[in-house]
Amino acid sequence: MPPRNDQDRTEPATPKRRQEARRKGQVAKSREISSAVVLLGSVLVLVLMGEWMVRHLLVLESDLIRRSGALHLTPEALLDLGSYTTGRLVLILAPIMGLLVVLVVGSNLAQVGLLFSWEALSPRLSRLNPVEGLRRILSMGALVELLKAFIKLAIVGAVAWLTVRSEWDEFFPLVEGEPWSVGAHMGRAIVKLGARTGMVLLALAALDYLYQRWEYERGLRMTKEEIKEEFKQQEGDPKVKGRIRQRQREMARRRMIAAVAEADVVITNPQHLAVALHYEQGSMSAPVVVAKGADYLALRIRQEARRHGVPVVEDRPLALALYRGVDVGDQIPVNLYKAVAEVLAYVYRQRGTS
């Protein structure tokens, strides 16, 4: 089969193709969204809990200074001081670290849902191939990512510069101010810088996600031949399906021929058609067609009837009406009650059961 280019891939991906891609870990996802959400979440934590965190850090600092005056330089004392400091820092930084974990996991779940792919984690020898690595570096996708990085850096840098420039004139009077007021002003400036940068990153991330979604859909597109081949695999080869249907018909025909042994009468046309009827008084409201056929199958029904002693009655109009109007396993229609009743009465008289 000749190689195809992207121009041949004009059809949207089928559900099966999408499931296979997801199983391999191939999903539409933007890493920029996680970065923007984490930055904005950090700013939110600083706004809500920044004062609390600074106050506890100052308390920890004063506590460490107090402890250092009576500290004995022994391994046990240093280990105890390190454990104490680490524990206090974990408690102080736990809110922001916990929120960042939630934001990272949540942003990924919002994009791709719950997904775990062993195939995406499995090592591939092709990744160690320097030729393939160079090809990936020089690919169009890598160039697009590089261009996006430059654009993001330029936009974020411009926003950061404008934010710092707007606060620049207020920095100099703080030189003679109180340390607490200097820290508070610096904190407000950092929050403003982080908020503006985060909003810009979030807008860029939304555009990047739309691009990743478009690129993902474009990469999943299929050719018409691939769709036909997938349809064949799902529905089965027409030749195989034909053989299966033939076997099913043969099995149904054998079951139908076997049911002739229980019939009460076989009505014929006389050579071309044969219809076998079965009726049980008290348990059936009307006779049931248990077998019917034309030509060779009609001959088989007559032979089976004679082998089991089932009466064969010639009635051309009735045989034709039953063959055309009643399926195997169905009861005869009301308009044929009288004609069939006459045939059954004749059979019962012949048996001496009338």
Tell me if 206 sits within 8 A of 108, measured CB to CB. Answer: no
| Domain contains 117 | yes
Tell me if 305 sits within 8 A of 291, measured CB to CB. Answer: no
What is the number of other CB atoms lying within 10 angstroms of the CB of residue 293?
22
Q: Could you give the CA distance from residue 303 to residue 338 in angstroms, rounded to a whole number?
A: 27
246 and 222 both lie in a single domain: no
Q: Kindly indicate the confidence band of residue 275, based on its pLDDT and cuts at 50, 70 and 90.
A: very high
| Domain contains 305 | yes
245 and 153 both lie in a single domain: no
Domain boundary among the residues 181, 206, 232 is at 232
User: What is the percent of the chain with per-residue pLDDT over 90, rounded to a whole number?
Assistant: 3
Residue 276 in 3-state DSSP? strand
Please give the structure tokens belonging to residue 286: 């009307």
- Predicted confidence at residue 2, as pLDDT, reads 38
Dihedral angle, C-alpha 332, 335, 340, 342, nearest 10 °: 160
Q: Which domain holds residue 91?
A: 6-232
55 and 103 both lie in a single domain: yes
Q: Is the pLDDT of residue 183 over 60?
A: yes
303 and 206 both lie in a single domain: no
In sequence order, which ranges of 236-315 are alpha helices (DSSP H)? Answer: 238-259, 296-307
Q: Could you give the CA distance from residue 353 to residue 350 in angstroms, rounded to a whole number?
A: 8
> For 120-144, what is the mean pLDDT?
62
100 and 215 both lie in a single domain: yes
Q: Of 258, 263, 252, 270, which is closest to residue 315 (Cα–Cα)?
A: 270
> For 240-245, what is the mean pLDDT?
74
> For 4-10, what is the mean pLDDT?
64
Place of tokens 């994009």: 111
Please give the structure tokens belonging to residue 236: 């089965």
Does this model's pTM top 0.85? My answer is no
Higher pLDDT, 15 or 123: 15
Q: Could you give the CA distance from residue 43 to residue 76 in angstroms, rounded to a whole number?
A: 39
| Domain contains 226 | yes
What is the number of other CB atoms lying within 10 angstroms of the CB of residue 345?
11
Please give the backbone phi and psi of residue 267, each rounded to the nearest 5 degrees, phi first.
-100, 130
Tell me if 311 sits within 8 A of 277, measured CB to CB. Answer: no
Window from 11-15, 23-27, 152-156, 234-238 with minimum mean pLDDT: 234-238
91 and 191 both lie in a single domain: yes
Q: Could you give the CA distance from residue 158 to residue 99 in angstroms, rounded to a whole number?
A: 28
Dihedral angle, C-alpha 322, 325, 329, 330, nearest 10 °: -110
| Domain contains 275 | yes
Q: Could you give the CA distance from residue 196 to residue 343 in angstroms, rounded to a whole number?
A: 95
Domain containing 342 — which CATH number?
Answer: 3.40.1690.10
178 and 255 both lie in a single domain: no
Q: Is the pLDDT of residue 80 over 70?
A: yes
Q: State how many domains the chain has.
A: 2
Please give the backbone phi and psi of residue 222, each rounded to the nearest 5 degrees, phi first.
-125, 160
Domain boundary among the residues 199, 216, 232 is at 232
Domain boundary among the residues 232, 254, 282 is at 232
199 and 266 both lie in a single domain: no
| Domain contains 23 | yes
> For 119-146, what is the mean pLDDT?
63
200 and 316 both lie in a single domain: no
221 and 244 both lie in a single domain: no
250 and 208 both lie in a single domain: no
Q: Is the pLDDT of residue 67 over 50?
A: yes
| Domain contains 1 | no
Please give the backbone phi and psi of residue 284, each rounded to the nearest 5 degrees, phi first.
-125, 140
| Each residue's pLDDT tens digit, 192-210 | 888 888 888 888 888 888 8
Q: Kindly indicate the confidence band of residue 112, based on its pLDDT and cuts at 50, 70 and 90.
A: confident
156 and 81 both lie in a single domain: yes
